[in-house]
Amino acid sequence: MALHVRALTPLELAEALDDAGDEGAPAEVASDRAMGRVVVAGLWEDHGPVFTSAEQAARMPHQAWGSLMDAALRGLAGIMPSRALCSADEWAEWRKALDKGARHPSNMGEAFRMRDCHDLVLGWRGSVRRFRPERYFGLPVADITDGQLLAFDAAIAAADDIQKKASATHEPD
């Protein structure tokens, strides 16, 4: 059985981190339980989730569960930037990496496609673009992950910078 992790939607992550059942537990125990629920939600095999519930996962031998949990959390950290799980430094690293990726020449076409997903909003002071990542990703807003939003923002910034540079070089003297 091949196991893999998948990024969680904001709702899935919020549900996993919900501490409703952890009242009265020491903070460290509540935190371990929450991370266990994150692993249960994000750990999949070919045909679906590995575990049907956190209770099922808790029946694993302690050492095996600890090893599986560590590996799964490392996997999630590598694919799922999340404001709920990342430190400020980790978030900055994700932003830097996605910005660099968005500016790579092989991604510029995609960056411009992302930038085109917007509405033009007219107001009394002028117009603004309201970006619509749900159009690009084809998902409801609530299902778009923090990582997708970071990538979307990085792509828009890259496309805008390229457009500004191109406009500056083509302006008449």
Inter-residue contact 5 to 79 (CB < 8 Å): yes
- Rounded (10°) angle between helices 88-102 and 146-169: 50
Q: Are residues 97 and 42 in the same domain?
A: no
Q: Are residues 9 and 76 in the same domain?
A: yes
Q: Are residues 103 and 126 in the same domain?
A: yes
173 has pLDDT over 60: no
pLDDT at 132: 96
Domain residues for the domain of 93 are: 89-169
- Segment 130-149 shows an average pLDDT of 94
Q: How confident is residue 20, by pLDDT bands cut at 50, 70 and 90?
A: low
Residue finishing a domain among 80, 110, 141: 80
Q: Are residues 58 and 97 in the same domain?
A: no
172 has pLDDT over 60: yes
Domain count, the chain: 2
Strands (E), 30-90: 43-45, 48-49
Residue finishing a domain among 47, 80, 113: 80
